[in-house]
């Protein structure tokens, strides 16, 4: 498997972001990302810029809907109209184009300091057919934490990581509930806009693109190295996302060099997004060789509940029950790696 790392959910000057796609690609190249996915509101103008820019694969999708039910539509060719009150129609329209649709920041709470406290949550969980959930939106989480002027100032000037705690627990719980029934993909989104905040005494660029590109990124497992042909490379990225061959890595904490989570059964090895058979030899293996052993805490979640806690940088354990298994790793208690599941059936 070949791992590529990139950032998803980015706004450019084609909607309400402050940077051009070229500037954004330059910021991504400076921090060494392999790919980025731009998702401007209600436009696919960025499609004409798709391809390799500054050595970074730049893909363009769109973020659809306004007041609520924000939906990231990746891999679509034609713009899809907003339909805030009928998110199913938007999900269906994305699927009809063969796109990958992801529910964005479903449980954000907002802050009175930003956009007058407006939030864009997801209400309708009767919908079907979406491909994934953005379980961690860095910008939303930061904003949720800046709940009053005092905290806003503190987080803006002194402690920008203060509100950052890892994926949204409610979104993860929803993800776990759904993945007991069917496969979907969890991603992290930066929601990068390069915000310029001018509110009372706070005048600050909180999150330039280059900053957010060093936070929660998405590692994707590819069968072959990322193609230098942009069209083929796009298919590789979308295929991995659709299949859940993805894990979130918080680069503020560390690189996830050579991290792996597999389930083995005899000579067969299964990876993120795969379905492994339950046999007498089925074993679950986690390895983060780059992390110091005594500071690494592995949590294995089965069907939404903690199944195993292990204070080491690796573990290997027999699996005796079918279920949906995913891994969380904390390094020095900080949220670091969050994988998609392997399904044992
Ligand atoms: Zn949004
Ligand atoms: Zn957004």
- CATH number of the domain that residue 207 is part of: 3.20.20.140
User: Which ligand approaches the C-alpha of residue 39 most closely?
Assistant: 2
Q: Are 35 and 159 within one domain?
A: yes
What is the pTM assigned to this prediction? 0.96
User: Which ligand approaches the C-alpha of residue 8 most closely?
Assistant: 2
Confidence band of 173 (pLDDT split at 50, 70, 90): very high
196 pLDDT higher than 90: no
- Domain end residue (candidates: 250, 273, 306): 250
Q: Are 46 and 144 within one domain?
A: yes
Residue 345 Cα to ligand 2 midpoint, Å, equals: 36
Task: Tell me the three-class secondary structure of 124-158, residue by residue.
Answer: CCCCCCCCEEEEEEHHHHHHHHCCCHHHHHHHHHH
Nearest to 338 by CA among 322, 325, 320, 323: 325
Task: Please say whether the beta carbons of 148 and 189 come within 8 A.
Answer: no
User: Which ligand approaches the C-alpha of residue 38 most closely?
Assistant: 2
Residue 192 Cα to ligand 2 midpoint, Å, equals: 7
Domain that holds residue 204: 2-250
Task: Please say whether the beta carbons of 310 and 297 come within 8 A.
Answer: yes
Q: Are 70 and 89 within one domain?
A: yes
Q: Are 233 and 278 within one domain?
A: no
Nearest to 293 by CA among 326, 315, 317: 315
User: Which ligand approaches the C-alpha of residue 61 most closely?
Assistant: 2
Residue 11 Cα to ligand 2 midpoint, Å, equals: 6
Q: Is residue 255 part of a domain?
A: no
Q: Are 293 and 242 within one domain?
A: no
User: Which ligand approaches the C-alpha of residue 10 most closely?
Assistant: 2
DSSP secondary structure string for all residues of 45-70 = GGGGG-EEETTEEEEEEEEE-SSS--
| CATH number of the domain that residue 282 is part of | 2.60.40
- Domain end residue (candidates: 219, 250, 281): 250
Q: Is residue 301 part of a domain?
A: yes
Q: Are 12 and 129 within one domain?
A: yes
116 pLDDT higher than 90: no
Residue 39 Cα to ligand 2 midpoint, Å, equals: 7
Q: Are 226 and 289 within one domain?
A: no
- Domain end residue (candidates: 181, 216, 250): 250
pLDDT value of residue 110: 87
Q: Are 224 and 187 within one domain?
A: yes
Q: What average pLDDT does range 169-195 have in this prediction?
A: 97
Q: Are 246 and 318 within one domain?
A: no
pLDDT per position as a tens digit, 17-47: 999 999 999 999 999 999 999 999 999 999 9
Cα–Cα distance between 211 and 24 in angstroms, integer?
11
Structure tokens at 58: 């730049």
Residue 10 Cα to ligand 2 midpoint, Å, equals: 7
DSSP 242: H
Task: Please say whether the beta carbons of 64 and 82 come within 8 A.
Answer: yes
User: What is the SS3 assignment for 245?
Assistant: coil
H or E stretch covering 170: helix 169-179
- Collect residues with CB below 5 Å from ion ligand 1: 70, 104, 120
Number of domains the chain is built from: 2
Q: What average pLDDT does range 94-120 have in this prediction?
A: 92
Q: Are 73 and 211 within one domain?
A: yes
Residue 224 Cα to ligand 2 midpoint, Å, equals: 30
Which residues have a Cβ under 8 Å from the Cβ of 116 and sit 6 or more positions away?
Answer: none
User: What is the SS3 assignment for 331?
Assistant: strand
pLDDT per position as a tens digit, 256-307: 989 999 999 989 999 999 999 999 999 999 999 999 999 999 999 999 999 9
- Collect residues with CB below 5 Å from ion ligand 2: 63, 191
How would you class 274 by CB atoms within 10 Å of its CB: exposed for 0-12, middle for 13-18, buried for 19 or more? buried
Residue 140 Cα to ligand 2 midpoint, Å, equals: 9
Q: Is residue 183 part of a domain?
A: yes
Q: Is residue 34 part of a domain?
A: yes
Residue 8 Cα to ligand 1 midpoint, Å, equals: 12
DSSP secondary structure string for all residues of 274-314 = -EE---TT-EEEEE-TTS-GGGEEEEEEETTEEEEEE-SSE
198 pLDDT higher than 80: no
In angstroms and rounded to an integer, the radius of gyration of the C-alpha atoms of the chain is 19
Residue 57 Cα to ligand 1 midpoint, Å, equals: 23
pLDDT value of residue 282: 97
Q: Are 279 and 140 within one domain?
A: no
pLDDT per position as a tens digit, 51-101: 999 999 999 999 999 999 999 999 999 999 999 999 999 999 999 999 999
User: What is the SS3 assignment for 211?
Assistant: helix
Task: Please say whether the beta carbons of 298 and 310 come within 8 A.
Answer: yes
Q: Are 213 and 283 within one domain?
A: no
pLDDT value of residue 156: 82
Structure tokens at 39: 């998702």
197 pLDDT higher than 90: no
């Amino acid at each position: 498997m070949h791992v590529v790392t990139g950032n998803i959910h980015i706004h450019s000057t084609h909607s309400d972001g402050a940077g051009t796609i070229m500037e954004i690609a330059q910021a991504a190249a400076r921090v060494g990302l392999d790919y980025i996915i731009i998702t401007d509101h209600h436009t696919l103008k960025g499609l004409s810029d798709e391809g390799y820019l500054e050595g970074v694969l730049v893909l363009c999708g769109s973020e659809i809907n306004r007041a609520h039910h924000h939906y990231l539509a990746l891999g679509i060719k034609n713009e899809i109209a907003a339909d805030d009150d009928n998110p199913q129609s938007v999900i269906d329209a994305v699927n009809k184009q063969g796109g990958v649709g992801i529910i964005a920041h479903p449980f954000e709470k907002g802050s009175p300091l930003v956009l007058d406290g407006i939030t864009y949550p997801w209400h309708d969980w009767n919908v079907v057919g979406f491909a994934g959930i953005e379980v961690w939106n860095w910008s939303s989480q930061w904003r949720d934490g800046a709940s009053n002027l005092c905290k806003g100032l503190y987080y803006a000037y002194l402690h920008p990581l203060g509100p950052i705690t890892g994926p949204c627990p409610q979104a993860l719980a929803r993800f776990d509930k759904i993945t007991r029934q069917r496969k979907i993909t969890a991603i992290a989104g930066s929601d990068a806009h390069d915000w310029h905040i001018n509110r009372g005494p706070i005048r600050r660029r909180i999150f330039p693109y280059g900053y957010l590109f060093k936070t929660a990124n998405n590692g994707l497992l590819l069968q072959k190295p990322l193609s230098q042909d942009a069209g083929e490379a796009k298919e590789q990225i979308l295929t991995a996302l659709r299949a859940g061959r993805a894990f979130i890595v918080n680069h503020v904490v560390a690189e996830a060099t050579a991290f792996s989570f597999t389930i083995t059964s005899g000579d067969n090895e299964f990876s993120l997004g795969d379905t492994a058979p339950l046999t007498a030899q089925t074993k679950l293996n986690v390895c983060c060789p780059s992390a110091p052993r005594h500071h690494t805490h592995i949590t294995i979640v089965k069907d939404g509940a903690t199944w195993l806690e292990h204070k080491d940088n690796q573990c290997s354990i027999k699996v005796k029950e079918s279920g949906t298994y995913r891994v969380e790793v904390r390094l020095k208690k900080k949220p670091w790696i969050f994988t998609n599941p392997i399904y044992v059936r």
